[in-house]
Structure 1
Amino acid sequence: MSRLKLFSLDAGADFGGRVAAALGEPLAKHEERCFADGEHKVRPLDDVEGADVFLVQSLYADSVSSVDEKLLRSLFFIGALRDAGAARVAAVIPYLCYGRKDRRTKLRDPLPTRYLASLLEAVGTQAVITLEAHNLSAFENAFRCRTVHLLADPLLLELAVARMSSEKRPLVVLSPDEGGIKRAEKFRRALSEGLQRPIGRAYVEKYRSGEHLSGGTLVGEVAEAAVLIVDDLIASGATLCSAVRAVQTAGAGRILALASHGQFSGEARAALARLPLECIAVTNSLPQVGLPGNYALLDCAPLIAEAIRRLHHAGPVSELTI
Structure 2
Amino acid sequence: MGRLKLFSLDVGADFCGRVAAALGEPLSRHEERSFVDGEHKVRPLDDVEGADVFLVQSLYADVCSSLDEKLLRSLFFIGALKDAGASRITFVMPYLCYGRKDRRTRLHDPLPTQYLASLLESAGTHTVMTMDAHNLSAFENAFRCRTVHLLARPLLVAFAAGRLAGEQRPLVVLSPDEGGIKRAEMFRRALSECLERAIGRVFVEKYRSGEQISGGTLIGEVEGTVVLIVDDLIASGATLCRATLAAEAAGAAGIVALASHGQFSGDARALVSRLPLEVVALTNSLPQTDLPNNCELLDCAPLLAEGIRRLHDNGPVCELTI
Decide: shared fold, TM above 0.5. Answer: yes
Question: Does residue 1:42 correspond to 2:6, yes or no?
Answer: no
Question: Does residue 1:256 correspond to 2:268, yes or no?
Answer: no
Give the CA deviation at 1:19: 0.3
Question: Using the alignment, how far apart are the partners of 1:133 and 1:275 within structure 2?
Answer: 26
Question: Does residue 1:203 correspond to 2:203, yes or no?
Answer: yes
- 2:168 match: 168
- 1:64 match: 64
- SS at the partner of 2:232? strand
Give the CA deviation at 1:165: 1.2
Counterpart code for 1:59: L
Question: Does residue 1:230 correspond to 2:257, yes or no?
Answer: no
Counterparts of residues 38-187 of structure 1 (less than 5 Å): 38-187=38-187
Runs of 4+ in 1 over 2 A off after TM superposition: 290-293
- 2:282 match: 282
Which residues of structure 2 form unaligned runs of 5+? none
Counterparts of residues 234-313 of structure 1 (less than 5 Å): 234-313=234-313
Q: Percent identity?
A: 77
Question: Using the alignment, how far apart are the partners of 1:283 and 1:273 within structure 2?
Answer: 17
Question: Using the alignment, how far apart are the partners of 2:101 and 2:294 within structure 1?
Answer: 31
- 2:25 match: 25
Which residues of structure 1 form unaligned runs of 5+? none
- SS at the partner of 1:311? helix
| 1:211-236, Cα deviation, whole Å (9 max, x unpaired) | 00000000010001100000000000
- SS at the partner of 1:114? helix
| 1:40-88, Cα deviation, whole Å (9 max, x unpaired) | 1111111111111000000111111111011110000000000011001
- 1:9 match: 9
Counterpart code for 1:150: L
Are 2:99 and 2:113, in contact at CA under 8 Å, matched by a contact in 1? yes
Question: Using the alignment, how far apart are the partners of 2:241 and 2:10 within structure 1?
Answer: 34
Question: Using the alignment, how far apart are the partners of 2:254 and 2:23 within structure 1?
Answer: 38
| 1:7-58, Cα deviation, whole Å (9 max, x unpaired) | 0101110100000000111111000111111111111111111111000000
| 1:178-229, Cα deviation, whole Å (9 max, x unpaired) | 0000000111111111111111100000000000000000001000110000
- 2:212 match: 212
Counterpart code for 1:141: N
Are 2:269 and 2:291, in contact at CA under 8 Å, matched by a contact in 1? no
Question: Using the alignment, how far apart are the partners of 1:309 and 1:101 within structure 2?
Answer: 31
Question: Using the alignment, how far apart are the partners of 1:321 and 1:105 within structure 2?
Answer: 29
Give the CA deviation at 1:104: 0.2
- SS at the partner of 1:11? coil
- SS at the partner of 2:50? coil
Are 2:128 and 2:146, in contact at CA under 8 Å, matched by a contact in 1? yes
Greater Cα offset, 282-291 or 15-24: 282-291
Counterpart code for 1:110: P
| 1:143-179, Cα deviation, whole Å (9 max, x unpaired) | 0111000000000000110111111111000000000
Give the CA deviation at 1:290: 2.9
Are 2:99 and 2:112, in contact at CA under 8 Å, matched by a contact in 1? yes
| 1:103-158, Cα deviation, whole Å (9 max, x unpaired) | 00000000001000000000000000100000000000100111000000000000
